[in-house]
A = this chain, B = another copy of it.
Amino acid sequence: MFSKSHPEAEHQRLVLHEDPRSGNCYKIRLTAALLDLPIERVQYDIMLGDTRKPEFLRTVNANGRIPVLQVGDRFLPESNAACWYLAEGSPLIPTDRFSRADMLRWMFFEQYNHEPNIATLRFWLLFVGEANLGEHQRGQIMAKRAGGEAALGLMEEHLAGREWFVGEAVSLADIALYAYTHVCEAGGFRLRDYPGVCAWLRRVEGLPHYVAMD
């Protein structure tokens, strides 16, 4: 879709350190696919604590988290920062100054208001299992449900009359928000309550070079 628009990235080996079940990891893989950038994948199992082991903490990410994008011999944690690195100079980042900042606005919204509610409930219900949750986690379910619904409601409102989150074209804002939105039902959210969001999900899925989550 956007190949040949990112000369610097093409000359460095790109390795995604990931757990393929993670939407944060998938964001980076989707960004690379849309940009037609080859990316190697090294897989970890977060349920087995792979990313808390001393070797990982020392060499990949002292914060004990994935994804991490390896660029040559340098390591870049934080999914949205990695997407930014891959997409700089491509049409996935708007050229207008305000729109560029507005794209980042939705990416910060995603990490602050969306992911901690929607992705966390999916992780708890799909991977940990409701029966295995601790009392402290159970006590947070209602607040996270309300927070996630508020985030989806804000997205629905914003998408009224729009095709994409920022301007007239797909940007990293759409990719960042798509990752956990399209699998939110695994966290107990009902996508049919958000028809505008559903139509936007289909638009993302219709992009050339789109790849699905594993």
Q: Which A residues contact B (CB, under 8 angstroms)?
A: 8, 62-63, 71, 74, 76-82, 84-85, 88, 97-98, 100-102, 104-105, 107-109, 111-113, 115-116, 136, 139-140, 143, 154, 157-158
Residue of B nearest to A6 (CB): B97
**Given known A108-B78, A140-B140, contact A62–B157 (CB-CB < 8 A):** yes
Contact of A98 among B74, B78, B102 (CB under 8 A): B74
Contact of A154 among B62, B71, B113 (CB under 8 A): B62
A113 to B115, CA, bound (A): 12
Is B81 in contact with A158, judged by CB distance below 8 angstroms?
Answer: no
CB-defined A-B contacts under 8 Å, sample of 14: A62-B157, A71-B98, A76-B98, A76-B101, A77-B105, A77-B109, A78-B105, A78-B112, A81-B101, A81-B107, A108-B108, A111-B111, A111-B112, A140-B140
Closest approach, in angstroms, between the C-beta of A115 and any C-beta of chain B?
8
**Given known A85-B98, A101-B82, contact A113–B63 (CB-CB < 8 A):** yes
Is B154 in contact with A143, judged by CB distance below 8 angstroms?
Answer: no
Copy tally for this chain in the complex stands at 2
Residues of B within 8 A of A100 (CB): 84, 88
Contact of A102 among B76, B79, B102, B113 (CB under 8 A): B76
Residues of B within 8 A of A81 (CB): 101-102, 104-105, 107-108
A104 to B87, CA, bound (A): 13
Closest approach, in angstroms, between the C-beta of A138 and any C-beta of chain B?
10
Residues of B within 8 A of A84 (CB): 100-101, 104
A153 to B113, CA, bound (A): 25
Closest approach, in angstroms, between the C-beta of A192 and any C-beta of chain B?
22
Closest approach, in angstroms, between the C-beta of A130 and any C-beta of chain B?
18
A112 to B211, CA, bound (A): 27
- Interchain residue pairs A-B with the least CB separation, the first 6: A85-B101, A81-B105, A81-B104, A78-B108, A78-B105, A81-B101
